[in-house]
Amino acid sequence: MTPISILFVCMGNICRSPLAEGIFRHLVTEAGLNGHFTIDSAGTGGWHEGEPPDGRSIATAQSNGIDISGQRARRIRSSDYRDFDLILAMDRDNVAALEKIAPPEATIRLFGDAALGTGEDIPDPYYGGPDGFELIYTRLLTGCSSLLEALGVERASCSGNTSSVR
């Protein structure tokens, strides 16, 4: 069975996408589905490459029982478009940046569309305080829970074929 591969993307890969990766990974583990998913995160920019997530993201995740402190920021690579079944961008600016360099077969979706069904952007909390990180944590948790439920059902119904994710 080939795992469904998901890449969460924000601007610098230190606030939103590491939280989304950590939340989704935590939910997958709790559901006993570790072998069913490949999960990662990246940024459209490389300003923070090699750095851990923002301390406020780490603290927010930690306060919710999730450890993301071992993650390291990285920039999107051309191979990601081939290697990931689903690339989920946190806002429309990230979608636009990804689409500029993506091959036609890449599946890039706005997190707010694919996971929340609302079409909303997940706002960047970088320039705000801890409350902004709590707010996005709540939105990401809601979306990641819905996404896992949808993909788990899809996984069961397609018997290892992930073509419907694309």
Cite the active site residues.
10, 16, 124
Determine the straight-line distance between the first and last CA of the chain, rounded to whole angstroms. Answer: 16
At residue 40, φ and ψ (nearest 5 deg) are: -155, 175
Amino acid found at 88 = L
What sign has the CA pseudo-torsion 132, 133, 134, 140? Answer: positive
Cα–chain-centroid distance for residue 23?
A: 9
